[in-house]
């Protein structure tokens, strides 16, 4: 049985607590929140737990094996570091840290102590992303050619981060999960209107080692309509994910371009580009709550001593992309390499 303590019981913490509590191989033992009223809600809902007011109480509690850090990003690094130093595994909200140096420190610290980090990129455990992963890994799309992601609507504005840090962690983590190719550079554009220098509209292009692959992200708090749509075009098939659709969220299109080079007397090389339009297939998606699957997976990784795929490295790559996007926006699209 793995004992879990949670730091932070605001908007998302209750969901994390509920799922750890429901996990048959985990035991929720403590919840910490600075606010007395939130502690009261926690201890009323789970009368068997310890209600702490200071995060160090969780971190120092010898009974606890896993610390879940469900706080604003500014405190992730320090809380996760203290937990790792005290020998606890860490489950931490996204984005992982405020910068890539912090993320690397935590990864190194966990490695040196043989501890695990899971970054809570919940979207990776939705039925839609799981199905897309399955389809892409099975090679159905062939070689990916273009990854296009749009996540736009009217607000909600965040007071302390721009639209990139607010929305792109979702899309960057999904792209890194679905696409094997390694991102190498970013060019990004953005503009701010309402909240000082914080961009409310941003466009981000990601380049890969493979020069024929491109990914692009449109993030926008100023759209009159809500669109959450990702297109992955491969050389065999193409995929569309519409996360706003009530139904039929993921569609696989048997469509593509076929290329022939014809050699005749007249035309030594005559390029023939044809389109292939076949059936569309709309797979059924698993409707289980994503966070439940994620929490169960984390417990399973701990029991089997297996590194989770959404580990510190995965969290670090997202932070690197966020950093690079912000730097490129400040330079009006100037290419920013990820290993700079």
| Residue 98 to residues 16, 39, 122, 214, 246, Cα–Cα distance (Å) | 22, 27, 19, 26, 34
3-state DSSP call for residue 157?
coil
Smallest distance, a copy of itself to C-beta of residue 298, A: 29
Contact 5, 58 (CB under 8 A): yes
Q: Residue 12 or residue 281: which is nearer to a copy of itself going by CB?
A: 281
d(CA 231, CA 178): 12
Site residues (CB under 8 A) for a copy of itself, limited to 141-170: 145-146, 148, 154-155, 157, 159
Smallest distance, a copy of itself to C-beta of residue 228, A: 12
In order, the DSSP letters of 138-186 are TTTT-SEEEEEEEEEEE-PPPSSS-HHHHHHHHHHHHHHHH--SPEEEE
**Contact between 225 and a copy of itself per CB under 8 A:** yes
Of 220, 230, 310, 326, the one binding a copy of itself (CB under 8 A) is 220
Smallest distance, a copy of itself to C-beta of residue 240, A: 6
Query: In this chain, which stretch among 59-67, 121-129, 219-227, 297-305 interacts with a copy of itself, using CB under 8 A?
Result: 219-227
Contact 30, 6 (CB under 8 A): yes
**Contact between 122 and a copy of itself per CB under 8 A:** no
**Contact between 34 and a copy of itself per CB under 8 A:** no
What are the structure tokens assigned to 172, written together?
Answer: 């960057």
What track of x and - describes contact with a copy of itself for positions 229 through 248 (by CB under 8 A)? --x-x-x--xxx---x-xxx
Beta strands 2-7 and 26-32 are parallel
Centre a 10 Å sphere on the Cβ of residue 21 and count the other Cβ atoms it contains: 17
233 forms beta bridges with 146, 238
| Contact residues for a copy of itself, defined by CB under 8 A | 145-146, 148, 154-155, 157, 159, 185, 187, 189-195, 201, 203, 205, 207, 211-214, 216, 218, 220-226, 231, 233, 235, 238-240, 244, 246-248, 251, 253-257, 259, 271, 273, 275, 277-284, 328, 332-335
């Amino acid at each position: 049985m793995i004992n879990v303590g949670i730091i932070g019981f605001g908007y998302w913490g209750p969901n994390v607590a509920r799922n750890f509590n429901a996990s048959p191989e985990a035991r929720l033992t403590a919840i910490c929140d600075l606010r007395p009223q939130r502690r009261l809600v926690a201890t009323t809902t789970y009368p068997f737990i310890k209600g702490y007011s200071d995060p160090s109480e969780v971190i120092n509690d010898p009974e606890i094996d896993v610390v879940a850090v469900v706080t604003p990003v500014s405190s992730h690094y320090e809380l996760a570091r203290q937990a790792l130093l005290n020998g606890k595994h860490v489950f931490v909200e996204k984005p992982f840290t405020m910068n890539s140096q912090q993320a690397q420190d935590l990864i190194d610290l966990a490695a040196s102590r043989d501890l695990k980090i899971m970054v809570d990129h919940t979207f990776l455990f939705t039925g839609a992303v799981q199905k897309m992963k399955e389809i892409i890994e099975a090679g159905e799309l062939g070689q990916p050619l273009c990854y296009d992601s749009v996540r736009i609507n009217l607000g909600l504005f965040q007071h302390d981060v721009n639209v990139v840090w607010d929305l792109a962690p979702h899309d960057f983590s999904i792209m890194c999960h679905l696409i094997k190719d390694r991102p190498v550079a970013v060019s990004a554009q953005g503009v701010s209107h309402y909240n000082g220098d914080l961009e409310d509209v941003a466009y981000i292009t990601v380049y890969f080692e493979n020069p024929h692959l491109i990914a692009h992200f449109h993030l926008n708090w100023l759209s009159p309509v809500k669109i959450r749509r990702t297109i992955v075009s491969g050389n065999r098939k193409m995929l569309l994910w519409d996360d706003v659709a009530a139904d039929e969220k993921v569609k696989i299109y048997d469509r593509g371009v076929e290329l022939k080079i014809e050699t005749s007397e007249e035309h030594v090389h005559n390029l023939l580009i044809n389109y292939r339009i076949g059936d569309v297939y709309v797979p059924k998606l698993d409707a289980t709550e994503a966070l439940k699957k994620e929490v169960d997976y984390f417990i399973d990784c701990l029991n089997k001593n297996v590194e989770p795929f959404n580990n510190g490295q995965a969290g670090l790559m997202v932070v690197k992309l966020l950093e690079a996007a912000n730097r490129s926006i400040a330079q009006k699209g100037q290419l920013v390499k990820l290993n700079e």
